[in-house]
Structure 1
């Protein structure tokens, strides 16, 4: 295990943030699977043993339902502003190749960590959806929040949820090499989420590297909630730090919206309280 470096000073200027959160590339449908690493400090978010699973409606998620299930600015409050080009977002600090030498127990864990980085960069953390999907994004100062609703096969979701749960132990802390042979240190820990859906997993991913020649730290909070064969994926943060409260709000409100549309209903225009 490599020694954790000291956290560099946060860079708050807009020019640097633009270098870290470069909005280029193709839409998220072109992305592959992803993976991350870290040390678990929060409570895992799988369904508790013996808990009764929530009943999920039958029938495949439609494109119209996926779009209706997306959250709005009101659901996450604060000063978030919805944008039109979220499918083109790419965080350049996430574009790197995992250093296999960091993994003394085998290369399989390194592959899982590479899957995490690739998934976060391509904005398809659970892999390519098998059916309908919809995506939206929000900006607040130098932070961004990406929200996706998508349909998957049951077996692929089983595998993805198990994979997410394993990342804090498998990857812990590792080095990734980016463009120009610059190195970044990636740290991942588990994080708790509101008790929503049939299963859930939270992560906090911190990438310490260089952007525009200056030391930079990118912190992302990640929340994934399963509802039957559908899932909600939320990623939020930036060079000024993570956004755990906004991820919790998105999970709380978004799960209710998805469950409502799957039952054939229409979500309320104003969010319900409780997060």
Structure 2
């Protein structure tokens, strides 16, 4: 019996169907490998192109917003370098964490944190009490970052009202922290005054042998995500009016720079320079003094003849008649009345 095979056989239909299915799978797989054909599961996510953020403060703007020595008065000048008391008094240790953070921040000059944008710094020295002022304009990551630092600073007059720290020689310092009042400028602000005393005399650094008393102001004002900050003080004290003036003038200057306006404040005239006179030089109320009258001296200068006869005749003694006649004739030769007096005198002599 012949067994059928080939396409006519029942199994042949199954073979044709299997070949068709296999070919479809191969075509589908090859299509996935064709260039330009990407399956949805393998498609990368669409990422928008990154845009460069415009800095909120450039270095040039920060420099333009710095205060000048003239705006604080003639006592201030460009700094001659860091004061020697910084290492001796600020680089100390204490067991209170917040107070240590305050000392470290004052020493490193970063109580507001590290700036993330433009920044500029200026240092000034004061001749009256040897104080130093360090003024900085800088941009930070966000306003909330600056506000967090200001809020922490606000707690220090209670947390660190009084504490002790130890210097590198083992000397103990008494430290106090109190709040200070600042002008109502900017978006937020905070001020502190720190005093330190009781260290060894060698920490003074000036050879005076006196135990130092450091007074140091710190002030900060936020304007958006920018801020101005300063320290002002020294062993001779800290003038609070200088701190307030720097905050007032500096904040306004920063706002002007950010708005593209010219600064509204102008450098003040030095207070130690020659002052402008408040009034014009006084005009003399009288002319040069005339010579006093006496024997042989006319009562008026040359060229100003007498205008009339004296209201009472001069009383003359016979002994002095000759001298008076000569004086009258010499001094009053241009006066006709005095000439007549001379004639009368001559007549009197003849009669005698």
TM-score with structure 2 setting the length:
0.55
2:257 equivalent to 1:261: yes
Cα distance change of structure 1 residues 269 and 82 upon mapping to structure 2, 3 Å threshold: farther
CA offsets 1:60-115 (integer angstroms, 9 cap, x no match): 111000011000012111400023656999453111011x2xxxxxxxxx211111
Distance, in Å, in 2 between the alignment partners of 1:271 and 1:226 is 23
Q: Distance in 2 between matches of 1:247 and 1:262?
A: 22
Distance in 1, matches of 2:163 and 2:212, equals: 17
Q: Is the contact between residue 80 and residue 139 of structure 1 (CA under 8 Å) also seen in structure 2?
A: yes
Q: Paired residue for 2:112?
A: 126
Is the counterpart of residue 82 in structure 1 residue 78 in structure 2? yes
The alpha carbon displacement at 1:210 in A equals 2.6
Structure (1/2) with the larger strand percentage: 1
Map of 1:116 onto structure 2: 102
CA RMSD of aligned residues (A): 2.3
User: What are the ranges of 5 or more consecutive residues in structure 1 without an aligned counterpart?
Assistant: 1-57, 101-109
Map residues 25-104 of structure 1 onto 2, 5 A cutoff: 60-83=56-79, 85=81, 90-98=86-94, 100=95
Give the number of the structure whose alpha-carbon radius of gyration is greater: 2
For 1:72 and 1:97, the matched residues in 2 are separated by 35
**Contact 1:94 1:207 (C-alpha < 8 Å) held by counterparts:** no
- Gaps (5+ residues) in structure 2? 1-53, 203-208, 269-352
8 A Cα contact 1:191 1:203, kept in partner: yes
CA deviation profile, 1:174-199 (whole Å, cap 9, x unmatched): 01111111111110000100111011
**What CA distance in whole angstroms lies between the structure 2 residues aligned with 1:267 and 1:88?**
35
* C-alpha distance 85-217 of structure 1, shift in aligned 2 (>3 A): closer
Q: Measure how far apart 1:201 and its partner are.
A: 0.8
Q: Distance in 2 between matches of 1:269 and 1:88?
A: 33
C-alpha deviation, 1:146, in angstroms: 0.8
Task: Name the structure 2 match of 1:104.
Answer: none
Q: Deviation per CA, 1:23-67, whole angstroms, max 9, x where unpaired?
A: xxxxxxxxxxxxxxxxxxxxxxxxxxxxxxxxxxx9511100001
With a CA cutoff of 8 Å and minimum separation of 6, indicate the structure with the bigger relative contact order: 1
What secondary structure does 2:212 align onto? strand
Partner of 1:250: 246
CA distance in 1, matches of 2:141, 2:71: 28
Pairwise CA distance, 1:151: 0.8
**Number of matched pairs:** 206
Give the superposition deviation at 1:131: 1.4
What is the rounded CA distance, in whole Å, between the counterparts of 2:66 and 2:60 in structure 1?
10
Distance in structure 2 (CA, Å) of the matches to 1:76 and 1:169: 31
State whether structure 2 residue 159 is matched by structure 1 residue 170.
Answer: yes
Seen in structure 2, the aligned counterparts of structure 1 residues 187 and 89 have a Cα distance that, compared at 3 Å, is closer
Match of 2:121 in 1: 135
Match of 1:200 among 182, 189, 195: 189
Asked if 1:144 is matched to 2:132, the reply is yes
SS across alignment from 1:197: coil
Per the alignment, residue 53 of structure 1 pairs with none
